[in-house]
Structure 1
Amino acid sequence: MTTVRAVAALQGLPISDPASLVDVEVPVPELRPRDLLVRVEAVSVNPVDVKVRSGLGPQEGPRVLGWDAAGTVEAVGAEVDGFAPGDEVWYAGDLTRPGSNTQLQAVDERVVARKPASLSFAEAAAMPLTTLTAWESLFDRLRLDASSTGDLAVLGAAGGVGSVLVQLARLRTGLRVLAGAGKAESREWVTSLGAHAVFDHHDLAASLGALAPGGVQALFSAHSEGAVEAYAQVLAPFGHLVVIDDPSSLDVVPLKAKSIALHWELMFTRTTFGTPDLAEQGRVLAEAAALVDAGRLRTTLRTALDDFSAAGLREAHRLVGTGRTVGKVVVHR
């Protein structure tokens, strides 16, 4: 076999256009020394997939997107020592390499872990990217631990990252977790994940202010553009703000009066720059898998599409692109 089936973008088009994602044949990937060749069984679609696809110019060849994945190891590179063919794995991939919307994908073993044994491939594929983002936000950026106290406000709490972050904050910190949600479905979802209280993110100042009159110690945001002034209002002096989106501009001056610290989080930083601690991502995913199998961390899968094709992935992109999904959208075989 020299080629495999994949789903690719040729240029940035509206997702309603059948040409926005197409079925293609691509070469079987060549393995680097520390690579795994994974037979992909399920992928999830994240906002980054939608952003990258919609922003593409005309491509010289098919661009295979997709980062979250769960599958089975088919082969290993010459220097791999932690995995063997037959291992079931999960990972969030690498922006600089071809993605997971394919039959076979090459991925560095250092950013891979064995998937939770208690989850199906679809349930597992919902988790890696958002788990890494939530973990890094809480424990690398905010440097929280079991002794941390105060209030954490989570905006977009019903989304992919927020759904994991609420759970991890409850498991690994002493913070009171306040979840921002709007519609009833979202409020029920974040409450089921362990949020101590829910506030109306459409009326941030009044709703969050009623829960934390003195301000919250930390705030996580997935949509920061035009909102920093409101964040400065609800954060306590010397508070911390973590953002994960890509605003066209961000005026941070309102944070100065309270000496509020701003933290950027991008879980692809390690793979993009090949940082010395690259294996930290595999370690985190292994620890998260143990939490899942112990019944302490839940999958955030909410919508599963049994159609691993261009049509199925177009529908997943359409759903995620609305910005109104609860939990995660997964496409599986």
Structure 2
Amino acid sequence: MMTVDTKTDTKTDMGTDTDTARTMRAVVNRAGGPIDGPESLMDARVPVPRGPNGHDLLVRVEAVSVNPVDVKVRASHRGSRDGILGYDASGTVERVGEEVTLFRPGDEVFYAGDITRPGSNATLQLVDERIVGHRPRRLDATDAAALPLTGLTAWEALFDKLRLTRESTGTLLVVGAAGGVGSMLIQLATRLTGMRVIALASRPESADWVRRMGADHVVD
């Protein structure tokens, strides 16, 4: 998990105030391959996104999380353009497109972004409102950024693949239970099904964590 300071990340070049002249900070990769490569991860200035148009929101990113998909996208990058990394994020809506109906400027949001568009490791990001949620009030930006992809993965596993319901009973074994998806699996299963949850955790701090998440039993 990393947080992004966005207070001073945008600036206007040459004294103009147009999007084409403005830049922002971003973490980009210019080549795939090993993570220690000189162009694997670079702190750069890139143009501020044009828009928003249609259903897009322009979000000022406050926190992002790192997922396996980020590693795979970075390692496989072969394009001629810099790739902006990042998938999960939370932030505040700055502007909205003309077709937006669910959000307005100032709303605090979180989302799992679109892998076909520039990522969330930037000061500002365009994201379609239809894949965005209002950030829960009791979560800060960092906690909210850790939820989208892990939560979706856990939900799909339990309710789309296994088709569990509130009436489901039996035993659910969660391997790697202290990780992001595992933590979400435990919470969803214990709260939304009748399953008994057994969590695998190898370290004392991991065992303590999965118990706090609600696991019924912990196995080393």
Residue 131 of structure 1: aligned partner: 151
Residue 63 of structure 2: aligned partner: 42
CA contact (8 A) 1:13 1:19 kept: no
Residue 113 of structure 1: aligned partner: 133
Select 2:87's aligned residue among 44, 67, 70. 67
Q: How far apart, CA to CA, are the structure 2 residues paired with 1:186 and 1:170?
A: 18
CA contact (8 A) 1:80 1:109 kept: yes
Residue 54 of structure 1: aligned partner: 75
Q: How far apart, CA to CA, are the structure 1 residues paired with 2:177 and 2:189?
A: 12
* Matched letter for residue 39 of structure 1: R
Structure with the larger RCO, 1 or 2 (CA within 8 Å, 6+ apart):
1
CA contact (8 A) 1:177 1:196 kept: yes
- Percent sequence identity over matched residues? 60
Q: How far apart, CA to CA, are the structure 1 residues paired with 2:208 and 2:37?
A: 34
What does 1:45-194 align with in structure 2 at a 5 Å threshold? 45-57=66-78, 59-194=79-214
CA contact (8 A) 1:181 1:198 kept: yes
Divergent runs of 4+, >6 A: none
Deviation at 1:145, TM superposition (A): 1.2
Q: How far apart, CA to CA, are the structure 1 residues paired with 2:53 and 2:192?
A: 36
- Quick check: which one's helix share is greater? 1
Residue 217 of structure 2: aligned partner: 197
| Count of aligned positions | 199
Residue 309 of structure 1: aligned partner: none
TM-score (norm 2): 0.86
Deviation at 1:153, TM superposition (A): 1.0
CA contact (8 A) 1:93 1:99 kept: yes
CA contact (8 A) 2:61 2:90 kept: yes
Q: How far apart, CA to CA, are the structure 2 residues paired with 1:161 and 1:46?
A: 10
Unmatched segments (≥5 aa) in structure 2: 1-18
The CA RMSD over aligned residues, in Å, is 1.4
* Matched letter for residue 55 of structure 1: S
* Matched letter for residue 87 of structure 2: W
* Matched letter for residue 127 of structure 1: L
CA contact (8 A) 2:93 2:104 kept: yes
TM-score (norm 1): 0.57
Q: How far apart, CA to CA, are the structure 1 residues paired with 2:178 and 2:77?
A: 28
Deviation at 1:127, TM superposition (A): 1.2
Q: How far apart, CA to CA, are the structure 1 residues paired with 2:65 and 2:157?
A: 20
